[in-house]
């Protein structure tokens, strides 16, 4: 397996097409200077740069599990962009999002995954549930699956609600060792019949070097936190340590998954 850093391309946003108002942080569909369209998460939105960090780390970790993720890009927003936007809420969002934002390739024609209709193997469901338990992703439920069907294949989107310890850095060591009780609400929990096998196969691939290479591509400007006197370097070490500790104590969330499945299977 390659241990190189992920290569994240940089694009410039050229046209704002439409907001996705079902998203709490007002993500939007835009065109970029490479000729493609992207769904953008803006640094100036409610959860700010933390959601972008979680999206980047979560999305790239998903690729280690051979899960399908749209390409992630850094999307630059020029300060002159949005001055003609008539919607004041969107205009304010764009004004506070000047600089580097995060985009994922737009899957044109994709439809939302429906657990009652779309078939998924126990092996693939187990990979997704294992990852979401590792990341403590609270946002892959029946109400909001954050999965799409595109060309008859399952694609993951939106890991922004993962790694929520970083909204309060004070207890990250404790959070790393906790089970993940919200896994009981996971849309794929019933299908996740091979979680132990997935853990045995993939956990050894999540080495410190691999994790650090992913965390290292997060831009410094997203990580610096003056309110907590936390440098980008210090923040990186916290993310790496959190994930390493969580993996080292994976039995905590594996047991939680099995206990939750007993109540629904």
- Determine the pLDDT at residue 225: 81
pLDDT at 190 over 80: yes
- What are 230-241's pLDDT values in tens digits? 899 999 999 999
As to burial, measured by CB atoms within 10 angstroms (0-12 exposed, 13-18 middle, 19+ buried), residue 90 is: middle
**Residues with Cβ within 8 Å of residue 73, at least 6 apart in sequence:** 8, 9, 10, 11, 32, 38, 102, 103, 104, 105
Please, which pLDDT band fits residue 194 given cuts at 50, 70 and 90? very high
Strand 99-105 and strand 72-77: the pairing is antiparallel
40 bridge partner residues: 28, 103
Please identify which residue in the block is written with the tokens 């890991």: 159
* Phi, psi (deg, nearest 5) at residue 55: -65, -45
pLDDT at 120 over 90: yes
- Determine the pLDDT at residue 87: 79
> Is the distance from CB of 110 to CB of 154 less than 8 angstroms?
no
What's the distance, Cα to Cα, between the start and end of the chain in Å? 35
Please, which pLDDT band fits residue 50 given cuts at 50, 70 and 90? very high
- Determine the pLDDT at residue 91: 87
Please, which pLDDT band fits residue 73 given cuts at 50, 70 and 90? very high
Extents of the domains making up the chain: 9-105, 116-153+164-262
pLDDT at 81 over 80: no
- Determine the pLDDT at residue 46: 83
- Determine the pLDDT at residue 83: 67
What does the alpha-carbon distance between residue 140 and residue 158 come to, in Å, rounded to a whole number?
9
Q: What average pLDDT does range 89-102 have in this prediction?
A: 92
pTM attached to this predicted model? 0.94
Mean pLDDT, the chain, rounded, equals 93
Q: What average pLDDT does range 218-228 have in this prediction?
A: 88
Q: What average pLDDT does range 179-203 have in this prediction?
A: 96
Q: What average pLDDT does range 99-123 have in this prediction?
A: 96
- Determine the pLDDT at residue 23: 57
pLDDT at 79 over 90: no
103 bridge partner residues: 40, 73
Please, which pLDDT band fits residue 192 given cuts at 50, 70 and 90? very high
Q: What average pLDDT does range 36-48 have in this prediction?
A: 93
Q: Which residue has the higher pLDDT, 178 or 47?
A: 178
Please, which pLDDT band fits residue 97 given cuts at 50, 70 and 90? very high
């Amino acid at each position: 397996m390659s241990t190189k850093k992920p290569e994240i391309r940089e694009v410039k946003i050229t046209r704002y097409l439409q907001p996705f108002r079902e998203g709490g942080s007002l993500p939007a569909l835009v065109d970029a200077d490479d000729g493609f369209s992207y769904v953008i998460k803006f640094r100036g939105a409610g959860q700010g740069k933390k959601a972008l960090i979680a999206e980047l780390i979560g999305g790239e970790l998903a690729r280690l599990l051979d899960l399908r993720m749209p390409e992630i890009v850094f999307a630059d927003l020029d300060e002159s962009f949005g001055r003609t936007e008539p919607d004041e809420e969107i205009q304010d969002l764009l004004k506070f999002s000047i600089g580097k934002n995060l985009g994922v390739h737009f899957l044109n024609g994709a439809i939302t995954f429906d657990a009652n209709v779309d078939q998924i193997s126990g092996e693939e469901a187990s990979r997704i549930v294992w990852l979401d338990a590792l990341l403590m992703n609270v946002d892959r439920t029946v109400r909001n699956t954050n999965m799409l069907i595109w060309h008859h294949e399952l694609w993951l989107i939106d890991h922004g609600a993962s790694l929520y310890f970083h909204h309060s850095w004070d207890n990250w060591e404790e959070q790393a060792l906790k089970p993940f009780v919200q896994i009981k609400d996971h849309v794929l929990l019933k299908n996740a019949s091979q979680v132990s096998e997935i853990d045995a196969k993939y956990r050894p691939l999540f080495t410190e070097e691999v994790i650090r290479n992913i965390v290292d591509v997060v831009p410094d400007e997203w990580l610096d936190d003056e309110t907590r006197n936390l440098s980008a370097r210090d923040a990186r070490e916290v993310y790496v340590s959190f994930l390493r500790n969580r993996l080292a104590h994976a039995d905590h969330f594996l047991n939680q998954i099995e206990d939750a499945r007993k109540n629904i299977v």
